[in-house]
Structure 1
Amino acid sequence: MKTYQYILLAFVAFLTVSCGTTEQKEITQLPSVPVKVAQVNGAEAAHYIAASGKVEAGQNASLSTRVMGNVTKVHVKVGDKVSKGQTLISISNADLTAQKAQVDAAIIQAESGLKNAEKDFQRFKTLFEKGSASQKELDDMTTRYEVAKANVEAALQMKKGVEAQFAYSTIIAPFSGAVVNSYIKEGMMANPGMPLIALEDAQNYQVVASISESDISGITSDTKAKIFVKSIEREYEGNIIELSPSAQHTGGQYLVKIAIQNADKALRSGMFVNVKFESNSTEKGASQVMIPTSALVKNGQLTGVYVVTDEQIAILRWLRLGRTYNNKVEVISGIAENERFILSHEGKLYNGAKVTF
């Protein structure tokens, strides 16, 4: 019986060793994975600073009124192109019309009183010169005449005020552009200060970007910029037109406005962009490296890339990433300059795989 058990154990051990040898042999003999590799180059990143921003119209306005009244006519709709001085909205001005009639009547009355006061003044002046009127009588007539002139002037100023209110009952375009929003409809009540319609200058676009305090020292008003709009896959040239000297009221971020030089009809206000500034600092960005986003490997919250060793073995390296510009992403840590990484591969790629290129 014991002899039989020994034989059985020896047979099992033989099978275990044989299977392990076979499995190891199969792993060793797995074919190499064809890959395309690239080398990390930090030289490009060392000469620019990346930031994110948003496209805005160079000129925009949200128009309102200073009078209360019903909207009688909305002359335009969202998307319409308008010219400077064009009527956009008409507001009922019946109350103003009544006020104007009252003011006109007051002007007529004041002018009539002025004529009478002037005649009396001239008559008493002549009588005073002949000694037929006292100094007090002349002074009274002079005062009456001056009051009459003041009444006329007050009535004329009231008329100017009413006429100015008439201007607010008609909303006109302060510049040529496009209607981007309308907040009111015909028949609705317009109140003072209430936004009625929004305009934008569709001919001139700019980008407003936020720069961190660690990067702002590498940017001046002469710094050139390249603007990449991911939604339309286009890149534009830009010049800085405003550079904020303070970040006190912007959450520690410095606002930079960039005029887009070669803007076209594909641009839209509100589009998010990536901006690349040519850095004026040689020290800033010396440790930055950039790799294509297509080379990244994601696993849950982790993002990595396959690097290639000198023995041509693929090793998955987890990365800490920074900002993205165009189709490249900044690597803060996890890969060093001059290391090789895998751009693409044919077949299944895994950690420890043998690769060829």
Structure 2
Amino acid sequence: MRSPVSAHPTKVLPLVWLVSMLLSGLAAPAIAADVTVPTTVVQTGRAGRSLDMDGAIQPVRQATVSAQTAGNVLALNVKAGDRVKAGQALAQLDARVAAAGVAQSDAGLAQADANLRNARTQLERTRELRGQGYISQSALDNAENQFKAAEAAVAQARAGRSQATLAQGFASVNAPFDGIVLATHLDTGDLAAPGRPIVTVYAPGALRAVVQVPASQAATARSAQRIEVQLPDQRWVAPIKKTDLPTADAVSQTVEWRLDLSGADSALLMPGQTVRVRFADAAAGADQKLATLSVPDAAVLRRGELTAVYVAQDRQFVLRAIRAGSAQGGSTEVLAGLKAGDRIATDAVKAGLAGARP
């Protein structure tokens, strides 16, 4: 018996040929036409010192509310984003242990009161007997000492009861001020312990940009004549208050700057948001101008944490990471990654296309 292929060669072979051609067409890569991208040579210039750095938005007033007593979380009354009032209950803890402590302190106070009454009665009888000459002075002194000890025991029992009552009040975790819940750290059923965070609350309307300036650039930042923060609408605004901490971090070797923003500017931002901070015109006078490198803004490729340019090498473009400084007048300062004489693409988008050539 002949196979179906040999029986019908004129029908099967064209079909196989057609399928193979379709598959090969799908697998064949597209050939991009050459794209010529203009280039420019990086040159040095004279410019004043400036720093452009990323900063983070933080609330000026923020509190992480923790438990002051141990107990399971019976109810978590808020979630992230909720507005709360000062004194509002954020979470409710199991108060049975605290209630038992209050009952125990009440019993201790009752016992101390009873001992005090007995010591007072005994002191009065001893004084009468001493007045009649039936007992010695030492017996009276002993009765007086017992009475004073009973009084001290009552004071101690009352203090213990106050402490137990205060601990019972810690079962309700309340908001310290009017604000917005930034985050919740525990959930219903979790075990709360003294010092363990439960809820973080911040006061809206007062935010600041926090930037970590390298210690080697601290003098440049302090001498800056103009400090600005870039808002999401691309506007550069001046902070209403500037504070640089007097110490450097021992690990990162950075100095923290806190730039308080106005209420109108804070309304456009959120805690945790990344902003651009510029320390401009740090050096005054022509003798303090520095030789710097700058490239056109369009030549800089920014993709998340990557800042790079396309460098022309052997009739092709090679992506090279750079550390960018301030951007002014359509040019971006390059702090590291390039040298004078490097030839780069003036359009980073086109240079990234397949087939792009200098």
Q: TM-score, normalised by structure 2?
A: 0.70
1:303 is aligned to 309
Q: Aligned in 2, Cα 1:264/1:211: closer, same or farther, shift over 3 Å?
A: closer
Cα pair distance change 1:223/1:198, threshold 3 Å: farther
Could you say if the C-alpha distance between residues 42 and 343 of structure 1 is closer, same or farther in structure 2, counting changes exceeding 3 Å? farther
What displacement does 1:175 show?
Answer: 2.4
The separation in 2 between residues aligned to 1:121 and 1:178, in whole angstroms, is 61
Cα gap change, 1:137 to 1:111, in 2 (>3 Å):
same
Whole-angstrom distance in 2 between the partners of 1:349 and 1:137: 110
Structure 1 residues 181, 247: closer, same or farther in 2, change over 3 A?
Answer: same
Q: Evaluate the alpha carbon distance shift between residue 302 and residue 47 of structure 1 in structure 2; reply closer, same or farther with a 3 A threshold.
A: closer
Q: Secondary structure at the match of 2:256?
A: strand
- Displacement of 1:186 after TM fit? 2.6
Q: Which has the larger radius of gyration?
A: 1
Q: Which amino acid aligns with 1:174?
A: P
Preserved contact between residue 274 and residue 325 of structure 1 (Cα < 8 Å)? no
Give the aligned partner of residue 4 of structure 2: none
AA paired with 1:303? V
1:331 aligns with 2:334: yes
Q: What is residue 250 of structure 2 aligned with on the other side?
A: 249
Q: 1:297 to 1:224 in 2, by over 3 A?
A: closer
2:124 paired with 1:122: yes
Which of 290, 293, 296 is 2:297 aligned to?
Answer: 293
Structure 1 unpaired stretches of 5+: 1-32, 307-315, 352-357
Following TM superposition, by how much is the alpha carbon of 1:144 offset from its aligned partner in structure 2, in angstroms? 1.2
Q: CA separation of 1:284/1:208 partners in 2, compared to 1, >3 Å: closer, same or farther?
A: farther
Q: TM-score, normalised by structure 1?
A: 0.70
What is the correspondence of 1:14-163 to structure 2 with a 5 Å cutoff? Answer: 46-163=48-165
Matched with 1:309 is none
- Do the aligned partners of 1:53 and 1:272 also contact (CA within 8 Å) in 2? yes
CA separation of 1:190 and 1:343: change in aligned 2, threshold 3 A: closer
Unaligned runs of 5+ residues in structure 2 are 1-35
Percent of pairs with identical residues? 21
Alpha-carbon distance in structure 2 between the residues aligned to 1:70 and 1:349: 63
Partner of 1:169: 171
Aligned to 1:62, the other structure's residue is in SS state: strand
Name the aligned partner's letter for residue 64 of structure 1: S
How far, CA to CA, are the matches of 1:318 and 1:99 in structure 2? 69
Change over 3 Å in CA distance of 1:286–1:301 after alignment to 2: closer
Structure 1 pair 91–50 and aligned structure 2 pair: CA distance change class (3 A): same
What corresponds to 2:278 in structure 1? 276
Work out whether residues 64 and 194 of structure 1, in 8 Å CA contact, stay in contact via their aligned partners in 2. yes
Alignment-mate amino acid for residue 259 of structure 1: D
Shift of 1:330: 1.6
Q: Residue 299 of structure 2 contacts residue 309 of structure 2 at CA under 8 Å; is this kept in 1?
A: no
Residue in structure 1 matching 2:182, options 164, 180, 183: 180
Which whole-Å CA distance do the structure 1 matches of 2:225 and 2:102 have between them?
57
2:265 to 263, 266, 276: 263
Secondary structure at 1:196 match in 2: strand
